Amino acid sequence: MTDSELIKSIRIVPDFPVKGIQFFDVTTLFKDSKAYKEVLDRICDIYKDKGITKVAGIESRGFISGAAIADRLGAGFVPVRKPGKLPATALRESYQKEYGTDTLEIHADAICPDDVVLIHDDILATGGTALATIRLVKHFNPKAVFLNFIIDITDVPRTAPFPEDVEVSAILRLSER
């Protein structure tokens, strides 16, 4: 499948979740079996030789592909969730989004220093969610951290640059305009 075909499988929702935001809804990509398989294939091709031992999927759409990626790479899956959703002791990190403040949590025993972690989410916009997740994951001092998105929205200003030691990839690069 071409990038154009993948892009056509994504629904664009104006003014969601707040006015002025153009939301790229990947659930329509997920329901297209060929598009979903293509995205998973591309992501796994990037990381198949990186020694990934854990995939940290960010709530909630990052769970959908993250768990499938973990399975394909022979890695464990770690959910990164909103507050109060994890049943055991959790670490917490707050961050700014383009339309407010939020908090993420990860189980305190989710990752070990010997792990190589791939953080996965559907969309990269300001990067606040990803930066918070990087801080959570780096608390465990893993061997390496990688960061992957299905879509990078290239014209949204980033909150801050990602750490230089975190390799970032995206399957599609789109403009909000």
Q: Residue 81 carries which DSSP code?
A: B
Q: Is 61 a catalytic residue?
A: yes
Q: Is 5 a catalytic residue?
A: no
Which candidate in 72, 98, 167, 176 is catalytic? 98
Which candidate in 38, 61, 81, 93 is catalytic? 61
Both tokens assigned to 112: 């070990």
Cis ω before 175 (30° cut-off from 0): no
CA distance linking residue 4 with residue 149, whole number of Å: 17
**Which value, in Å, is the radius of gyration of the alpha carbons in the chain?**
15
Give SS3 for 122: strand
Q: Residue 139 carries which DSSP code?
A: T
Which residues carry out catalysis? 61, 98
